[in-house]
Structure 1
Amino acid sequence: MNTLIKPKPTLEDFLKLPETKPASEFINGQIIQKSMPQGEHSTLQGELCTVINQIAKVQKIACAFPELRCTFGGAGIVPDVTVFRWERIPFLRSGRIANRFEIHPDWSIEILSPEQSQTKVLSKLLHCSRNGTELGWLLDPEEESVLAIFPGQKVELYTGATQLPILKGIELELTVETIFRWLSFS
């Protein structure tokens, strides 16, 4: 019996594939399709982008992007929210933003969905940290907690009224309670 062993896809192979909805990512030599965002996930993602951009984008300090593909360190990932310092945002000569971000984010935020593996999502944030990302957050709506990842892959757990670490230079104060209060519309 002659079986052919299919070679593992490369990042270049992955980037040639058509886009999927929800997005697919390439990390650790595997292609993985993200989960379809649901209510809590979408609410947190939208609020985070809005709150960060109301301060950072207006002052041209940084900009938060939802679902932006970032290709760096041999991976192609789509964090739920990425924040780039203003001077690192790739702009075209015309002043318009580039479509391709082939750099690591300065701050990467992931929101855990019920069917997602915390280990796989955390591995994306650790990949970011290994490749220069200054701050990572993993929001867990079920536990109402935030894991923060710092340079050197130091990980800290935040809950309750604890003030969350923010990317340096952004004058923003957020607590874990504040973030998860966004899920209540009453």
Structure 2
Amino acid sequence: MSVATKFSNQLSLEEFLKLPETKPASEYIDGVIEQKPMPQGEHSIIQTRLVTAINEVALSKKLALAFTELRCTFGGRSIVPDLSVFVWDRIPKTSTGRIVNRFEICPDWMIEILSPEQSTNKIIRKIIFSLKGGTQLAWLIDPEDESVTIFYPNQLPEVKEKEEILPVLDSLKDWQLSVEEMFSWLKLD
């Protein structure tokens, strides 16, 4: 179950960002601080395998970089998608070329994995906010019914299942993953 705290005099985003980090992470949306649920087995396996698979394809060719649980602060909110993928030339860096600690832009591709105690509509609202802020692609993975809802800016969502191939960023177009293959990661036999 997530924990939401509404502050009577509306905590500012800057004040929120000065608070100590929580485990699991807390997000700031319109003055409300909500702690994400602790990832469980299915969520954790999918998240770990996905970030590894994306980075195996994207990192060596400097196409993109996938992160787990990365705080992204933009548009007056601070969210922590389960996976955030940034196209290589959009990865924020310092003047010396090192990756920055604070990402103040939206991800190019965000992936959320639905946990049993999460509200689907809250996640969809976060995805829509990110799409309006510049995110190009979003997945909402539902382990319970083994489907993935795909979101693009200014389009109706579509649901992928079974042997259907999941869409990826244009820079990763040579990589393919089916819904069935992704959910096969949950079987350890």
Could you tell me the TM-score, scaled by structure 2's length? 0.93
Report the Cα distance in structure 2 between the residues aligned to 1:81 and 1:12, rounded to whole angstroms.
Answer: 23
AA of the residue aligned to 1:64: A
The equivalent of 1:159 in structure 2 is 161
Report the Cα distance in structure 2 between the residues aligned to 1:114 and 1:6, rounded to whole angstroms.
Answer: 30
The equivalent of 2:78 in structure 1 is 76
The answer for unaligned runs of 5 or more in structure 1 is: none
The equivalent of 1:23 in structure 2 is 25
Correspondence 1:179 to 2:185: no
AA of the residue aligned to 2:67: F
Deviates more, 1:5-14 or 1:19-28: 5-14
Q: Is the 8 A contact 1:130 1:153 kept in 2?
A: no
Report the Cα distance in structure 1 between the residues aligned to 2:143 and 2:155, rounded to whole angstroms.
Answer: 22
The equivalent of 2:50 in structure 1 is 48
- Return the match for 1:37 from 25, 36, 39: 39
Q: Is the 8 A contact 2:87 2:171 kept in 1?
A: no
Report the Cα distance in structure 2 between the residues aligned to 1:88 and 1:153, rounded to whole angstroms.
Answer: 24
**Paired residues, what number?**
182
Report the Cα distance in structure 2 between the residues aligned to 1:62 and 1:151, rounded to whole angstroms.
Answer: 20
Distance 1:153 1:76, change over 3 A: farther
| Displacement over 6 Å in runs of 4+ | none
The equivalent of 1:141 in structure 2 is 143
What is the deviation of 1:123?
A: 1.1
Report the Cα distance in structure 1 between the residues aligned to 2:29 and 2:157, rounded to whole angstroms.
Answer: 20
The equivalent of 1:66 in structure 2 is 68
User: Aligned with 1:152: secondary structure?
Assistant: coil
What is the deviation of 1:153?
A: 4.8
The answer for unaligned runs of 5 or more in structure 2 is: 1-6
The equivalent of 2:126 in structure 1 is 124
User: Aligned with 2:51: secondary structure?
Assistant: helix
Could you tell me the TM-score, scaled by structure 1's length? 0.94
Q: Is the 8 A contact 1:126 1:153 kept in 2?
A: no
How high is the sequence identity, in percent, across the aligned residues? 54
- Measured against aligned partners, the alpha-carbon deviations of 1:65-108 in whole angstroms (never above 9, x if no partner) come to 00000001111000000000000001122222110100010000
Correspondence 1:169 to 2:171: yes
Report the Cα distance in structure 2 between the residues aligned to 1:6 and 1:52, rounded to whole angstroms.
Answer: 42
Report the Cα distance in structure 1 between the residues aligned to 2:186 and 2:165, rounded to whole angstroms.
Answer: 18
